[in-house]
Amino acid sequence: MSLINKILTRDEIRTQPPVLLDIGASGSIHENWKQIAPFSICIAFDADDREFGYITKESSGFKKLYVFNCIVTDQANSSTDFFLTKSPFCSSVLEPDRKSLVPWAFAEKFDVDKKVNIKSISLAKALQEIGIQRVDWFKSDSQGTDLRLFRNLSPQTQENVIIAEFEPGIIDSYKGEDKFYELLSFMDKKNFWMCSATVKGSQRISQNSMEAFTSSPFMKKILQYSLKSSPGWVETVYFNTFSASLSIREYLLGWVFATIQKQYGFALEIAEKGYSLYKDEIFNEMYKNSKKKIWSDILRLKFYPAIIEKISKSL
């Protein structure tokens, strides 16, 4: 049995399984959740035409899966307007900012096919309905409303989140969207640190400019992908600092999540803190496991002389 599985079968976790929140669910298990899914409760939001409410799925890869067939918002409304765009990945409760999008190559993806009124539920009410007020891993790709959804959690729930994933905008893609700078400001006041940030974007060229260059759809694609991409949004992950009072359960899960994220240095820190607080021998195992992974990464470097040389020169 792997150490992660050993931890996930302990009474602290078995009686209070990890709660994974998936807003903007893609229909498949999040890559980083595959190992922990059988031990976890997942709450997902997937709007369709079925009856309003939630369904429980036992045979989903998760220990238990709740699927809400509606749009999740931060407002206590039973329905909300929803903008269906040319690309389904750009559909949102927020109206696309067509004027601001004009200079960008991917602007047409945000063209609104139609506006519909769809059933909705606030995140706070959804958690209340299923009797869960704890979220361990918050993952949101809501096209412009990630921060307001996180803020819809109670302050205590926010503080106890171990990992939070967001995709805030940099440019103006939607009217009134949550922006990256707002997320930075908000999370800076919380007990979180940013463990990764991947900048994504588009090319700064309008549809009219591309049309003037060529009328061929194929050549437009070639033109688009030959140009340098500029920042448009950020896929970012925040980790709890573990500076506040957390239970042994959170320390065990924190180490598991840090290991999954390959944040072995932070996993080492969590194991040290966990042992100092709870004197449980499992934390010594976790510490040794993290050291082994760090050494494994160090030894891999010896096969890359150029990297070693670069490190040596920086010393």
Least confident of 29-38, 190-199, 255-264, 275-284: 29-38
Q: Assess whether pLDDT exceeds 50 at residue 182.
A: yes
Q: Assess whether pLDDT exceeds 90 at residue 314.
A: no
Strands (E), 132-252: 137-140, 163-166, 192-203, 229-240
Query: What pTM was estimated for this model as a whole?
Result: 0.90
Instruction: Please give the average per-residue pLDDT across 219-244, as a whole number.
Output: 91
- CB-CB neighbours of 226 under 10 Å: 8
pLDDT tens column, 243-266: 878 999 999 999 999 999 999 999
So what CATH class is 3-241? alpha beta
**What is the CA angle 18-236-55, rounded to 5?**
40
**What is the CA angle 292-296-298, rounded to 5?**
115
- CB-CB neighbours of 292 under 10 Å: 11
Contact, 180 vs 190, CB < 8 A?
no
